[in-house]
């Protein structure tokens, strides 16, 4: 019997998950408050409300962190009202399990950090489990994300770093490819040619990385001939301190993730104190 997966929040990430999981044979039912303005991926059912989604084996909560609190409170009421208690998997970046578990008292909750590559079955998704999640649910989480690329269980404290490297990671590569495209145009290439060269180079580099498990340093040495053209570019990058800039870029993302997480925890603590 096929696993049925509900998705609440059919934005970029929720829609990508729907596309990827549907292509792998899962039964998908989606819901979004603005569903009328969105086209559902082929093979995905449209839910009339949360009750239809909660009848699933697992529900992916794909709303923004700022919207998660309101959704959690509403879902908890409906889960108790309908006596429907599926496994809940939040993909909201920097939204702590401790906060979500408090809002969803007694429910089975997990956190995961995929990226948009789930739509083509190429994302490695890291996940963490809440205290009420047992072995069968853990296997369910693994089955879901293994189907669309792969999975790795980590401690929750590592998820902000995962978000920086993997969740946001595709944007970094596209950012670099945009600079390759611009460089090609400056050197006289037609923009469409420069764009396709950058795109295909990204694809071919990924294919090489998949084909042979060399370290990144080993791959660089495979390509950069001593005294050659590639080495000249890499030497200039070192002179400009590009490695440090890239690491600072990741540090900025990590700091922002920690800031969001801290704000959420502070808000919930103040709310709890105010209700006492």
Distance CA 14, CA 86 (A): 18
Determine the average pLDDT of the residues in 202-210.
96
Distance CA 53, CA 33 (A): 13
Give the pLDDT confidence score for residue 38 in this predicted structure.
59
Give the predicted TM-score (pTM) of the model.
Answer: 0.93
Determine the average pLDDT of the residues in 96-125.
97
Q: What percent of the chain has pLDDT over 90?
A: 89
Phi, psi dihedrals of residue 6, rounded to the nearest 5°: -95, 145
pLDDT at 152 over 60: yes
**Residue of 125 and 2 predicted with greater confidence:** 125
Task: Provide the residue count of the chain.
Answer: 276
3-state secondary structure of 124: strand
- CB-based contacts of 191, cutoff 8 Å, min separation 6: 181, 185
Strands 44-46, 58-61: parallel, antiparallel or unpaired by DSSP? unpaired
pLDDT at 274 over 70: no
Distance CA 47, CA 188 (A): 52
- Confidence band of 264 (pLDDT split at 50, 70, 90): very high
Give the pLDDT confidence score for residue 15 in this predicted structure.
93
pLDDT at 201 over 50: yes
Give the pLDDT confidence score for residue 111 in this predicted structure.
98
Distance CA 105, CA 76 (A): 8
Phi, psi dihedrals of residue 55, rounded to the nearest 5°: -80, 5
23, HSE (Cβ side, Cα atoms, 13 Å): 16
Give the pLDDT confidence score for residue 195 in this predicted structure.
98
Report the first-to-last Cα separation within the chain, whole angstroms: 47
Q: How far is CA 257 from the centre of its chain?
A: 13
pLDDT at 158 over 50: yes
Buried b (16+ CB within 10 A) or exposed e, 90-123: bbbbbbbbebbbebbeebbbbbbbbbbbbbeebb
Q: Which residues are 264's β-sheet partners?
A: none
């Amino acid at each position: 019997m096929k696993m049925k997966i509900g998705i609440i929040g059919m934005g970029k990430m929720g829609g990508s998950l729907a596309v990827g999981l549907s292509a792998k044979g899962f039964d998908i039912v989606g819901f979004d408050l603005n569903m009328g303005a969105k086209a559902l991926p082929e093979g995905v059912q449209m839910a009339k409300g949360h009750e239809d989604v909660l009848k699933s084996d697992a529900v992916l909560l794909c709303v923004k962190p700022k919207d998660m609190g309101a959704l959690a409170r509403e879902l908890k009421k409906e889960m108790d009202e309908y006596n429907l208690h599926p496994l809940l998997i939040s993909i909201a970046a920097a939204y702590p399990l401790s906060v979500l578990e408090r809002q969803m008292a007694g429910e089975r909750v997990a956190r995961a950090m995929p990226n948009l590559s789930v739509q083509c079955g190429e994302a490695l998704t890291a996940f963490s489990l809440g205290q009420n999640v047992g072995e069968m649910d853990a296997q369910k989480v693994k089955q879901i994300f293994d189907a669309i690329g792969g999975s790795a269980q980590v401690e929750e404290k590592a998820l902000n770093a995962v978000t920086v490297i993997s969740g946001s990671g595709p944007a970094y590569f596209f950012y670099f490819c945009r600079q390759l495209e611009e460089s090609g145009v400056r050197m006289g290439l037609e923009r469409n040619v420069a764009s396709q060269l950058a795109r295909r180079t990204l694809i071919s580099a990924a294919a090489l990385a998949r084909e042979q498990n060399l370290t990144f340093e080993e791959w660089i040495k495979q390509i950069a001939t001593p005294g050659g053209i590639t080495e000249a570019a890499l030497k200039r990058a070192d002179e400009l301190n590009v490695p440090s800039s890239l690491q600072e870029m990741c540090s900025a993302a990590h700091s922002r993730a920690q800031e969001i997480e801290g704000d959420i925890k502070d808000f919930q603590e103040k709310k709890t104190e105010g209700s006492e």
